[in-house]
A = this chain, B = another copy of it.
Amino acid sequence: MSEEGRAPTIYDVARLAGVAPSTVSRAFSRPGRVGAETAARVHAAAGELGYRANPLTRARQSGRTGAVGLIVSDVTNPVHFGIIRGVEEAAARAGYTMLLADAQESEEHERTALERLLPGVDGMVLASSRSSDRAIRAIAKQRPLVVLNRIVPGSRCVVADTEAGVRSALAHLRELGHHAVTYVAGPAASWADGRRWRALLDLGPEHGLKVTRVGSPAPTVSGGLAATAELLRARPTAVVAYNDLLAIGLLRGLAEAGVDVPGQTSVVGFDNIFGADICTPPLTTVAAPLRAIGSQAFLELHRQLDREPLRAQPVLTLPTQLVVRASTAARRRHAD
């Protein structure tokens, strides 16, 4: 019943069903506002013709696209796997399509992706954004927005409980007999980096741990590899890395330098990404409920889209959990 030139429109359906085009429109966009029998006739005709609403036109008219955008700071960082799947799943369940874009760890890319995506979506989820609070609030003015892994005052946010995670990591290290810990930092533009470092600094003393910090060129495996040199000078007995990717790079760098992990140095990561359990030694890490963060973010967005009453507090904090694997061990009595 198709194979003709172009796709059937509401006019075709209307003619076949013997109703007005507006009735067809209504039958689809607001069922209930149309008589049961009429609706049945319309749907029958539509089925026969293989009618499908033109989503672009519909979007333009109604102002709703039925899609939400997700921009991640880096699609190739496994930390986003769970987040992507979480958003995707919750969105699909609500009948929304998720459009994914990649900021490639660059603020400029992020802005471009955003500009491209924004007109085609009803709302946005920003994961690990590298933009300024100001820029983010500007977006929030244009479209409903939820921010992930970051707190932007005035915006709805979903984050992991960094403090609790850091606390458990510190307690773990302390229990193992460590007296000091070195933090290998992430990107300056990362909110999570600031938060993690801050928590370490604040909570270290409580746990009897001296906290120091070294930089890293990038929150990636090769960034960790590169950061090893500086670590080798200080020779800490325990290090906490900004994220697992960095930690994995550290693991490799230390191994290449002949430093035994965890014998001489314990290493803790963040996020518990894919890869954290296949490296050697498997990584002890502060796990975040990534999938839940993603789905909660969508749910929060959905409330905004439907103008439902929002949760009282704008920031939703999800629990973290220390996953102990083999990269941490008791401090050796006699450091070499």
Contacts and interface: CB of A to CB of B under 8 A. Distances in A.
Interface of A: 54-57, 59-60, 65, 67, 75-76, 78, 81, 84-85, 88, 92, 97-102, 104, 112-113, 116-117, 119-120, 221, 248, 251-252, 274-275, 278-280
A165 B73 CA distance: 33
A55 B59 CA distance: 11
Nearest to A101: B100
Contact of A248 (B75, B99, B248, B278): B278
Contact of A99 (B56, B81, B101): B101
A75 B81 contact: yes
A99 B68 CA distance: 12
B76 A274 contact: yes
A279 B67 CA distance: 38
A17 B99 CA distance: 37
A116 B279 CA distance: 38
Contacts of A279: 278-280
B221 A278 contact: yes
A307 B101 CA distance: 27
A5 to B, nearest CB: 13
A249 B3 CA distance: 48
Contacts of A278: 221, 248, 251-252, 275, 278-280
When all copies of this chain in the complex are counted, the total is 2
A272 to B, nearest CB: 14
Contact of A97 (B65, B84, B116, B252): B116
Nearest to A278: B279
B120 A55 contact: yes
Nearest to A112: B92
Nearest to A279: B278
Contacts of A100: 75, 99-102
A57 B54 contact: no
List the 9 closest A-B pairs by CB distance, nearest first.
A97-B116, A280-B280, A76-B81, A100-B100, A56-B60, A55-B119, A278-B279, A99-B99, A275-B275
B76 A84 contact: yes
B88 A117 contact: no
A251 B55 CA distance: 47
Contacts of A85: 76, 102, 104
A264 B102 CA distance: 42
- Chain B CB within 10 Å — which of A56, A65, A81, A117 has the most? A56
A309 B92 CA distance: 39
A60 B54 contact: yes
A134 to B, nearest CB: 16
A290 to B, nearest CB: 11
17 contacts: A55-B119, A56-B59, A56-B119, A56-B120, A75-B84, A76-B81, A88-B102, A97-B113, A97-B116, A99-B99, A99-B101, A100-B102, A251-B278, A275-B275, A275-B278, A278-B280, A280-B280
